Chains A and B, each alone.
Chain A
């Protein structure tokens, strides 16, 4: 019984939150890795792209709510999501046309593109703040819980609570659908294959008659979709704040590099490695330890690391990977 209590506590405080967070990181890392494979630079503006997309989704959500349109038990933001993606995609295509295209033409070094992405980051950051401000915004509506602590107690009669929030379930389901669609697109469609070919060997792709401008455009649209979905899910699950989205680029980059930058499977695995390490190391294990070792009454929280240092987890994993396996777990690209 104690073991089951420990398991329930573990699920409630570690497994469920880390899975949801991991799914959000994975979607973010997929966007970073996609840009990296096709345009060959680390996009520092990705966090702000997520913030911009989410801000648009929130504005549309408010509009829908004002018109009295809701999604029953599900958050209204899910209806707004496709529109948000469309706006963000237009934004990305515009940015590419005005900013990035020139540097591709002159075949600028990747590090110059990183600097350019910093400029884009400032602009996107300003636009987001302009659109929606800097305050914390909670835009999740609909049913709050799939399993609340009370229903869990009624269902099982257990004292140890277990809750599953709607947003957590939606995160995992949406992320799974998105990833499946992305892999189908990259693996089965002609355009998707041409993107992989372009990523593998640009010269040979050009020689085969693949149109680079088209590949780049599709890449930005996909990135916009991934960033908006990731941002919206993160915002639904936690809450929206422009600055948090800026900070989240660190765990996202860490996920992409740990998995092997340029490798989509790696991005997903990396996302979960980072999220489980972060949640696991900053979780206070006192309760679980108390169930498992009844005789032991720990005086501390048995927390390995204070939550203030959650970024340190991403960073340490990143450094370990850079030292021992710079290409990442799934052997990404090293250009």
Chain B
């Protein structure tokens, strides 16, 4: 059984469903990437996994436990970390305080975790007394990821972490994400930059209209001429 097993998810915000039997699985320590055209329900699928969308059908299993009915806060306690696409830091608080707030639900000493985050993102250590709102886009994304890592999640979910950053910063962020995965954390992310994201993906999902169109390893999807033609622009 996979570490995360979200199967046949069906649901939406209003009367109309956005997801139609969408299935996502992530193995321990692997990177899974969701790509697809605009309005395919990529972010919605991610929110459904995190419990921010009521499901009419399907289930979400984490490490063998059924968490379908749990609130997002409880899922955090169960080992999920979520980095929203926008507004994902506390802008008038320092980098260090952002990380502390990430660890808010922890009662134990979290200084080791903070050191780990600083090792992963050295720039954050230099800027730890600066307000997160004053950092550059790429640095802010690092703060956001660092904040989510403070609960020591087993599964980290990232909603378009490279939206709006330059190609150089994007490559650096992907490198960091690979490093996070190497520490044994499973990663599920939604990406607009499909080609680059699939390159680092152990597993790729191409979503169209709320349902799985193609599912394979990242390399296989990149090699598939049909996928290349339809979704990766040749």
Contact = CB atoms under 8 A, between A and B. Distances in A.
Asked whether any CB of A lies within 8 Å of a CB of B in the complex, the reply is yes
Interface of A: 190, 193-194, 196-197, 200-201, 203-210
Contacts, number: 54
Nearest to A196: B93
A200 B91 contact: yes
B159 to A, nearest CB: 12
B16 to A, nearest CB: 22
Interface of B: 72-73, 76-77, 82, 84, 87-93, 97, 100-102, 104-105, 147
A200 B76 CA distance: 20
B84 A203 contact: yes
Per CB-CB distance, the 8 closest pairs between chain A and chain B, nearest first, are A209-B105, A200-B90, A197-B101, A208-B104, A197-B90, A209-B104, A209-B73, A208-B101
A193 B101 contact: yes
B93 A208 contact: no
B128 to A, nearest CB: 14
14 contacts: A193-B100, A196-B90, A200-B91, A201-B87, A203-B87, A204-B88, A205-B90, A205-B101, A206-B72, A207-B73, A208-B102, A208-B104, A209-B76, A209-B77
Given A193-B97, A194-B101, 6 more contacts: A193-B100, A196-B90, A196-B93, A204-B87, A204-B88, A207-B73
B73 A200 contact: no
A205 B100 CA distance: 12
A207 B76 contact: yes
A232 B84 CA distance: 45
Of A194, A197, A201, A207, chain B has the most CB atoms within 10 Å of the CB of A207
A43 to B, nearest CB: 21
A201 B72 CA distance: 16
Nearest to A202: B87
